[in-house]
Every structure is written in C-alpha cells, then in structure tokens.
C-alpha cells in the first residue's frame, strides 16, 4: 500500500493529476468527535485505466490494515473513505472548550494539526509516524503547503459543531453548524483552525415554559373559582 500511495503521488507530479483530501470533524457537545477522511484519487485511477497497464488496488487491499485497527474503511471508484470516533481526552490534534451561562452555551474548537488516521500511511504519515510535521503553525508549514499545491493536492477541513457557528476566522464557507477551511491556506498563514459556536440553553427555556404554563393554569383556576363564588 505504501508503494501504491507514493507511486500515485509521483504520477500526480508527472502527469498533472489531482488529489483531493477532505477531512470532516463532527463534534459532540462533550467534545468527543467523529473524523472522516476522504481521499479522492479518481483522476489518477481514470488515467491509469485509460493506459490499461496499471493494476489498481482493490478495496480489500486498501482497507485491510485500517479495518484491523478499528477504522471504518471503504474504497470505491478511486475514493478512499476512512472514519473513526475520537474521545476528547485521548485526542492530540484538537482542543475543545464548553462554557455554559444562564441563557446560552458557547463551544470553542481549536484544531492544531491534521488528524493521523491509523498506522497505514495517508498523505501525511508512514509506519505510524508523521512523515512531515502536520502542525498548522509549524515553521515548515508554509513550504509544505506550497509543495502540495505544486503537486495538485487540495485539502479541505469541515467542522460540524453542536450549534450554529458564530465565528470561524479564515473559513471559506460557513453554513449553520458547519464551517469549511482550506487547509493549505491555514498552513501558508500558519494559523490554527478555530471555530466558535453558540446555542441557547434549551433546558432552561423548557423549564421556563413549564413554569409559565403552570402559573397560567393556576391563575385560570383561581379566576374560574372566583367567578363561581360570585
């Protein structure tokens, strides 16, 4: 599999293909999350198929090691999809803060580096260790981003928060609970991915509604009783 990945990278440089990598981080209210990584090499697969002299990997070959490590993995028509749940207490690539006030809850997610998805190499690691420093603010981040652009590699990082996003500096798109970033832009500017979301305290408003309903019922009952006694 390692040889396949690096042959594909070499092919990208030589024939001008394009590799698209998409990370998606869905964050729970307690900070735990699910990471999904999609690596789209379909343009290279199409070129290889057209030449007819390159044997492409099967889903079993691509996913074997990931599956052993407990990842969900699939491969279809040149797209590799890897997914896994992460506990906040065990993750080293992001931090999460939750601040509860009387009327609202504020969530702040900070992603400092790209997730390392297993020991099997992705675009970022080999044999379980980073091939390059995946920190977004590393001194060499700008150079690495330029290199990847030259190799026609595009990387996006989408965050799905528990409530609507109110701030996501540098995001290329914000919609509801979701913010999407251009990872290479973040690396070039040596900036972390920071997303702030806010949601109303639903339990408080439900409680207030219940209390208000009870008060209305009591007042209505007193008014009806008063009318009867007249």
Of 94-98, 192-196, 203-207, the range with the lowest mean pLDDT is 203-207
Q: What is the pLDDT of residue 136?
A: 94
Quote the percentage of the chain above a pLDDT of 90. Answer: 42
Q: How far apart, in Å, are the Cα atoms of 5 and each of 141, 153, 218? A: 21, 13, 71
Q: Once rounded to an integer, what is the mean pLDDT over residues 157-163?
A: 97
pLDDT at 218 over 80: no
* pLDDT tens column, 120-132: 444 444 444 445 5
Tokens 């699939």 appear where? 74
How much is the pLDDT for 5?
44
Least confident of 72-81, 196-205, 213-222: 213-222
Model pLDDT, residue 171: 98
**Of 188, 120, 115, the residue nearest 148 (C-alpha):** 188
Instruction: Give the phi and the psi of residue 24 in degrees, each rounded to 5.
Output: -130, 125
Tokens matching residue 148: 């990847």
Name the pTM for this structure: 0.76
CB burial of residue 193 (10 Å; 0-12, 13-18, 19+): buried
Domain ranges for the chain, please list them. 2-229
- In this predicted structure, what is the pLDDT of residue 125? 44
The confidence score (pLDDT) of residue 116 equals 83
Tokens coding 132? 């390059």
Task: Please state, for a pLDDT cut of 70, what percent of the chain lies above it.
Answer: 68
173-189 mean pLDDT: 96
What are the tens digits of pLDDT across the range 70-114?
899 999 888 999 999 999 998 999 999 999 888 889 999 999 999
- Highest mean pLDDT among 49-63, 143-157, 179-193 belongs to 179-193
């Amino acid at each position: 599999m390692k040889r396949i990945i690096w042959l594909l990278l070499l092919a990208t440089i030589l024939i001008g293909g394009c590799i698209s990598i998409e990370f998606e981080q869905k964050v729970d209210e307690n900070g735990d999350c699910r990471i999904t990584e999609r690596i789209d090499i379909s343009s290279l697969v199409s070129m290889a198929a057209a030449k007819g002299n390159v044997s492409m990997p099967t889903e079993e070959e691509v996913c074997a090691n990931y599956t052993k490590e407990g990842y969900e993995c699939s491969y279809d028509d040149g797209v590799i999809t890897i997914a896994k749940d992460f506990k906040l207490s065990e993750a080293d690539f992001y931090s999460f803060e939750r601040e509860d006030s009387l009327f609202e809850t504020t969530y702040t997610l900070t992603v400092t580096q790209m997730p390392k998805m297993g020991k099997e190499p992705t675009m970022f690691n080999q044999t379980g260790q980073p091939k390059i420093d995946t920190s977004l603010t590393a001194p060499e981040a700008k150079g690495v981003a330029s290199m990847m652009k030259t190799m026609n590699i595009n990387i996006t990082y989408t965050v799905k928060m528990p409530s609507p996003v109110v701030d996501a500096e540098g995001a290329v798109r914000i919609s509801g609970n979701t913010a999407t970033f251009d990872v290479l832009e973040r690396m070039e500017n040596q900036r972390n991915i920071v997303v702030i979301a806010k949601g109303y305290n639903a339990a408080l408003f439900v409680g207030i509604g219940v209390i208000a309903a009870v008060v209305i019922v009591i007042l209505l009952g007193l008014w009806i009783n008063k009318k009867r006694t007249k």
